[in-house]
Chain A
């Protein structure tokens, strides 16, 4: 009886789904961070702020002062 239970447990375990989106290891060279360049000198907050501000320039409702939402 005990053997049957153990076998049943093992069989049920085989039905479990392996995670499909597990992060794969990266085998290449390490990249330097974007904010490590001369422009930001390692200041991550400044880098993120600059990019967010730059992205906002794409919103012409704001640029023209015609924003309904801002």
Chain B
């Protein structure tokens, strides 16, 4: 069983916002909802770094744990999705998420919240694949077409990688070992499996 994940390589990200734009365009995401966004630290200073952030499709997702109506589910590929017909827009998932992934469209006056919207890993949702309803509620289903998320495929520097954890781990490892730094990665084993030390991962030669 695949474990679909994103990795953003901060050494490569140039803060072009291509990923966020690709996402908006692919899914016709409404104004005010940002499924993906750029976070920059030390902006304008030496050592400035940017990473592209969206739902990380956690292995042990806190949004799933706190949802009072149990509208979240995980696909066979480890993609965390939710049923918008069930969502009550309470916002618990927003408070639980460490990445700020859940988004809430403004549904009316007085700051009324709509149903939660988030990155679907371009895998649609619980509707018939490629149906009008699926696109309207969740966006395009690229995964069912054998494609990877639009944000990663659009990334010009390939800073943002998407795919099975084992494959993108191998790609990232090749890069890091070529650069000659960053062998130990905190939390790696939890998110991507295997050892916390990159040298002990399968794939690229250390």
9 residue pairs A–B, Cβ–Cβ below 8 Å: A28-B71, A32-B127, A34-B75, A50-B146, A55-B148, A55-B163, A61-B178, A68-B178, A69-B205
B132 at interface by CB-CB < 8 Å: no
List of B residues within 8 angstroms of A31 by Cβ: 73, 75, 81, 124-127
A21 and B77 alpha carbons, distance in the complex (Å): 18
Q: A21-B60, A58-B171 are in contact. Are A52 and B164 (CB under 8 A)?
A: yes
Q: A55-B163, A68-B174 are in contact. Are A34 and B143 (CB under 8 A)?
A: yes
Which one, A36, A39, A52, contacts B163 given CB within 8 A? A52
Q: A28-B86, A34-B141 are in contact. Are A58 and B204 (CB under 8 A)?
A: no
Which one, A21, A34, A60, contacts B144 given CB within 8 A? A34
B93 at interface by CB-CB < 8 Å: no
Question: How many residues in A have their beta carbons less than 8 Å from beta carbons of B?
Answer: 35
Question: How many residues in B have their beta carbons less than 8 Å from beta carbons of A?
Answer: 50
CB distance from A54 to the nearest CB of B (A): 5
List of A residues within 8 angstroms of B161 by Cβ: 55, 58
A56 and B161 alpha carbons, distance in the complex (Å): 10
Contact yes or no, B70 A26, CB < 8 A: yes
CB distance from B103 to the nearest CB of A (A): 19
List of B residues within 8 angstroms of A50 by Cβ: 146
Q: A31-B81, A37-B129, A69-B205 are in contact. Are A59 and B171 (CB under 8 A)?
A: yes
Which one, B75, B85, B128, B163, contacts A51 given CB within 8 A? B163
A70 and B10 alpha carbons, distance in the complex (Å): 24
Contact yes or no, A32 B128, CB < 8 A: yes
Contact yes or no, B83 A36, CB < 8 A: no
Contact yes or no, A54 B70, CB < 8 A: no
CB distance from B66 to the nearest CB of A (A): 10
A48 and B4 alpha carbons, distance in the complex (Å): 11
B82 at interface by CB-CB < 8 Å: yes
Contact digits for B119-140, partner A, Cβ 8 Å, 1 yes 0 no? 0000111111110000000000
Contact yes or no, A59 B126, CB < 8 A: no
Q: A52-B167, A69-B204 are in contact. Are A33 and B65 (CB under 8 A)?
A: no
B197 at interface by CB-CB < 8 Å: no
List of A residues within 8 angstroms of B72 by Cβ: 24, 26
A65 and B76 alpha carbons, distance in the complex (Å): 33
Contact digits for A20-45, partner B, Cβ 8 Å, 1 yes 0 no? 11001111111111111111100000
